[in-house]
Amino acid sequence: MIIELNLNGKQVAWEISPGDRLLDALRMGEGAVSVKRGCESGDCGSCCVLLNGQPVNTCVVPAVKASGQEITTLEGLAENELMKKLQSSFLDSGAVQCGYCTPGMLIAIWARLNTGGTLTEQDVRHALSGNLCRCTGYAKPVEAILKVWEDKS
């Protein structure tokens, strides 16, 4: 079956099988290397992308659900100024160790920062709660995110 969608601002058409997951379509069909294969059960967040502006774990989303939708990966946010600041802050703060969870964290927090309002450490931790990291202990990513938020405010 063929589905059409908007991927990172471009209209694309994919040929998929009924049982394909969005994760597989993005990684194999589009080469979206920021979308990592992790738990395959929706628990780790390493495969997180934006679906119509909301973070989702692609390992539990059927590819057919993307038909007619807007998908944004980390590659699609490469030129976004807020994302550039987040990435720089993650590097400067030592928030990137192995890097496997980093794309999912960046997508999740980018979505949260774009909702506006206030942002506390607890808000950041809540936004990252769907992203498992075995390396950083979360202190450095939280520090990096709060620094960007303070500079933005």
pLDDT tens digits, residue range 104-148? 999 999 999 998 888 999 999 999 999 999 887 799 999 999 999
pLDDT digits (tens, 9 = 90+) for 58-113: 999 999 999 999 999 999 999 999 999 999 999 999 999 888 999 999 999 999 99
Nearest to 86 by CA among 151, 33, 139: 151
Residue type, 13: A
Residue 51 backbone dihedrals phi, psi, to 5 degrees: -110, 110
Look-up of token digits 């807020």:
82
Structural domains in the chain?
2-74 (3.10.20.30), 79-152 (1.10.150.120)
